[in-house]
Amino acid sequence: METAYIKTPLGIAAITGDENGVAIISVTDEGIASTEIPLFLQIAVQQLQEYFDSKRTDFTFLLNPKGTEFQQKVWKSLVNIPFGKTKTYLEQSKGLGDVKAIRAVASANGKNPLWIVVPCHRVIGSDGSLTGYAGGLWRKKWLLEHENPTTQQSLFQ
């Protein structure tokens, strides 16, 4: 596994993976951008930069996150939330076939290793509140406003 670091409007993104795909994308407030990007991470770096430049709404590079079978199922459901849209934790649980699994679903979302690409930031509370985002609620708000500036700004002011 190798890691590339890129500067984003939300901090330094660390992209970790190998020839089998990207396993982890995380963000931090500290660090410096990489001067050289491993070949197998270049497409991920390019697509993330396009996302932040408002030139990309989905990602096509190979993903290889590590997690339990349940976590993988939850993360796959996140990818189906369209760009610029949100879903509640309850709606996500219902979509997975078990409304009572809401806490387990929220926990799996919190363990999502692929920041932005597997869009757990698009999941909100049933009352429309911004809740439960490992990267910090200010980043969640920024991402939702970035993806849908007109609707989201009015929701979260």
Amino acid found at 128: G
> Per the residue annotation, which of 15, 22, 120, 144 is the catalytic one?
120
pLDDT at 153: 45
Q: Per residue of the chain (157 residues), what is the pLDDT tens digit?
A: 999 999 999 999 999 999 999 999 999 998 899 999 999 999 999 999 999 999 999 999 999 999 999 999 999 999 999 999 999 999 999 999 998 999 999 999 999 999 999 999 999 998 888 887 888 899 999 999 999 987 544 444 4
Give CA–CA dist 54/115, Å, rounded.
Answer: 17
pLDDT at 51: 98
Say if residue 47 is in the same domain as residue 86: no
pLDDT at 151: 57
Amino acid found at 16: T
CATH code: domain of residue 85? 1.10.10.10
Say if residue 27 is in the same domain as residue 82: no
120 assigned to active site: yes
Three-state secondary-structure class, residue 79 = helix
Give the residue numbers spanning the domain of 132.
69-155
Give the containing element (helix H, strand E) for 69: helix 69-79
Strand partners for 1: none
Say if residue 112 is in the same domain as residue 149: yes
61 lies in some domain: no
Model pTM?
Answer: 0.90
pLDDT at 152: 46
CATH code: domain of residue 36? 3.30.160
